Amino acid sequence: AAGWISTASKPLVLARRTLHLWQENNRLRDLAMSLSDENSQLRDAALENERLRAMLEFRSRFPLPVRSADVIAVPGPQIGGKLIIDAGRAEGVAVNSAVLTPHGLVGKAVEVAEHTSSIQSLVGNAYGVSVMIERSRVAGILKWVEPGHWSIVGLSTGEDVRVGDLILTTGAGSVFPKGIRVGVVTEVRAQDDPGSGFCRVTPFVDFAAVEEVFVITPDTLIELPPTTQKSGSAR
């Protein structure tokens, strides 16, 4: 009888062990998901702290009055290059206010409401930006060509422009202060016209990843000192 009872109880023991293992697996899975979420939050916090630290350092050494703002929306298709920020007239933003990050030029304000503004970045922009080669001081107009491609037009063949040259704003037009970092030359090419040429430029700013910006009001435009022109790191 004892043997029969022992044999009959084995399925129950096995069932209890199976239930226990199932419950333990569920607990471990929930714990793993919780730890994964916590690690993700810690990584996000670390990246945010790094961005904010870069913003604070940039603001402390930037010579012009600037207002920080967060990107709160990206309306329309990405190719449109529009950003909405949480600062407007009440915060001192005006139409044509220059917008930048510690990495370089983002664009300018094109529509301004009381507490929000629409920013047209260099992506898909219809306006040209007067720029120059830092090394040789050769000037031209930066134009958006197509997704991922910008060119400096208005160059004469034989101008001293080389791959790797740093591009800065010239200050012409009273929108963008002189000396803001824009990008780097990645290609130099002659056009069909024997007397002209152009160069490709890669901006320093990753426009798809912009989360915080600085806004400069148009009435504060001055030339930036050489130390500011060369500061920061390319992206």
For the chain of 235 residues, list the mean pLDDT of each consecutive stretch of 10. Answer: 55 73 82 75 65 70 85 80 94 94 94 96 91 93 91 82 95 89 91 74 93 78 47 40
CA distance 127 to 121: 10
Please report the pLDDT score of residue 51 as a whole number: 64
Please report the pLDDT score of residue 220 as a whole number: 47
E-state strands within 28-175: 66-73, 82-85, 98-101, 104-112, 117-121, 129-133, 139-146, 149-156, 166-169
User: Which has the closest alpha carbon to 130: 101, 187, 168?
Assistant: 168
Neighbours of 180 (CB within 10 A): 24
CA distance 140 to 98: 19
Neighbours of 161 (CB within 10 A): 20
The model's pTM is 0.69
Cβ–Cβ < 8 Å for 101, 205:
yes
CA distance 27 to 30: 5
Please report the pLDDT score of residue 229 as a whole number: 43
Please report the pLDDT score of residue 235 as a whole number: 38
Q: Which amino acid is at 197?
A: G
Q: Residue 152: beta bridge partners?
A: 142, 199
CA distance 101 to 109: 14
Sign of CA dihedral 76, 80, 85, 88: negative
In the chain, which ranges are continuous DSSP H helix?
2-61, 226-229
CA distance 57 to 102: 9
